[in-house]
Structure 1
Amino acid sequence: MSDKIFYYFSVLIQGLPVTLSLSLAGIISACLIAVLLAVLLTSNKWFMTKLIKGYIILFTGTPLLVQLFIIYYGPAQFSFISKHLPILWQLLSQPWFCAYLALTLNSAAYTTQIFSGALKAVPQGQWQACVALGMNRMQTLRVILPYALKRALSTYSNEVIFVVKGTALTTTITLMDVMGYNQLLNGRYYEFSIFIATGCIYLLINGLLSIIMRLIEKRALRFENVNN
């Protein structure tokens, strides 16, 4: 039995590079996009605000699996993409890029809500203090944004874990990640222990991520502990 489990793990970890690369790329890209969108939401531009809120509703209101299918299979329905946009067509023909794009857009929508909420939670007195010091909007955001992002780390750490778990769906578009090798083994041996081994791998990844995020949060909010 132990030999089988060891064999299952040796096969499953072959999908780790895909799982980890998708997770890391998706998390970083989504975070950068979310910071930008959260800042834009603080503006008084009606059209921009409505556009961003529409994007958030679209990607938080539909399943990630559906988004994966649309991004991967959708472009094939439009011949003008392959004829007039060859570079985009080549990118959208790659399963890894489609999975990365879907994870990024999905996570960015949720993360934008987190960061936007953190900005709104900053006491008005801090905004007013920056104005009183003669700071313009960009200078004010340089002061307020880092503080807000630090306070959002606790909630954002959950979204980071959701991205990693979301990579398990990418096997539906032919990517051989950890779950992809799980499907391969299950098709051959049909044993319940394969899923246990797969769950242990995801548990280990997310456990390490949780520890890292807690350490980052503790260091980022160290100033509060000093003041107390």
Structure 2
Amino acid sequence: MSDKFFYYLSILIQGLPTTLSLSIAGILSACLISIFLSVLLTSDKWYVTKPISVFITLFTGTPLLVQLFLIYYGPAQFQFIRESLPLLWQLLSYPWFCAYVALTLNSAAYTTLIFHGALKAVPQGQWQACVALGMNRKQSLKVILPYALKRALSSYSNEVIFVVKGTALTSTITLMDLMGYNQFLNGRYYEFTIFIATGCIYLLINGLLSTIMRLLEKKALAFENTQ
């Protein structure tokens, strides 16, 4: 069994670059988008906040698998995309790009909720202190936003892990990631050991990510432990 286990591992790790590239690209892009959207949600203008709320509802209220299918297979149903937008059509013909878009938008919706919640949790006294110092809203956000993001790291670390686990669904759109090679091996050998080996790889990745996020959180909140 051990020989088979390591043989399966040697095949499965061929999908590791795809899984890692999707995870890293999706996490970074979603983080940047969500910071921007979180700031916009602090606006008192409905025409700014309403579209963001619709976006969040849309991507948190539907399964990631459905979003993957819609982004990968959906554009092919519209002739004007194929004819009028050749560059977009070319990009959407690549499974990796479609998976990246789906993961980014899905994670951005959830992360926006996390970051916006952290902003709302900042005590009003800090906002008032900024106003008392003569700061406008933009200047106040430059002070308060970093503090809020640090406080959100604990919840955000879970979302980072969810993105990595979400990449397992990308094999459904013909992408050969870890689960893609898992399906390839399972179709050939049909052995339970294949799933154990796949699970071990995901466990290792998420274990390392969890440790890194905990270290970042500890360092970011070190100021709270100072006397």
On whether the aligned pair clears a TM of 0.5, the verdict is yes
Q: Say which SS state the counterpart of residue 183 (structure 2) adopts.
A: helix
TM-score, normalized by length of structure 2? 0.99
Q: Say which SS state the counterpart of residue 127 (structure 1) adopts.
A: helix
Q: What do the CA deviations read for 1:104-154 (whole angstroms, capped 9, x no partner)?
A: 000000000000000000000000100111101111000000000000000
Q: Which amino acid aligns with 1:138?
A: K
1:29 is matched with which residue?
A: 29
Paired with 2:83 and 2:225, the residues of 1 have a C-alpha distance of 59
Q: Note the 1:1-228 alignment, pairs <5 A.
A: 1-227=1-227
Kindly state the Cα deviation for residue 3 of structure 1 after the two structures are TM-superposed: 1.0
Paired with 2:195 and 2:16, the residues of 1 have a C-alpha distance of 15
Q: What do the CA deviations read for 1:167-194 (whole angstroms, capped 9, x no partner)?
A: 0000000000000000000000000010
Kindly state the Cα deviation for residue 48 of structure 1 after the two structures are TM-superposed: 1.2
Identity rate, percent? 81
Paired with 2:65 and 2:2, the residues of 1 have a C-alpha distance of 34
Q: Which amino acid aligns with 1:154?
A: S
Q: Which amino acid aligns with 1:129?
A: A
- Which runs of 4 or more aligned residues in structure 1 lie more than 3 Å from their structure 2 counterparts after TM superposition? none
Kindly state the Cα deviation for residue 44 of structure 1 after the two structures are TM-superposed: 0.8
Paired with 2:132 and 2:92, the residues of 1 have a C-alpha distance of 49
Q: Which amino acid aligns with 1:205?
A: I
RMSD: 0.5
Q: Which amino acid aligns with 1:156?
A: Y
Q: Say which SS state the counterpart of residue 176 (structure 1) adopts.
A: coil
Kindly state the Cα deviation for residue 93 of structure 1 after the two structures are TM-superposed: 0.6
Paired with 1:210 and 1:130, the residues of 2 have a C-alpha distance of 34
Gaps of 5+ in 1: none
Gaps of 5+ in 2: none
Q: Which amino acid aligns with 1:180?
A: G
Q: Which amino acid aligns with 2:191?
A: E
Tell me the number of residue pairs that the alignment of Structure 1 and Structure 2 aligns. Answer: 227
Which segment is superposed worse, 9-18 or 42-51? 42-51
Kindly state the Cα deviation for residue 101 of structure 1 after the two structures are TM-superposed: 0.1
Q: Which amino acid aligns with 1:48?
A: V
Q: Which amino acid aligns with 1:41?
A: L
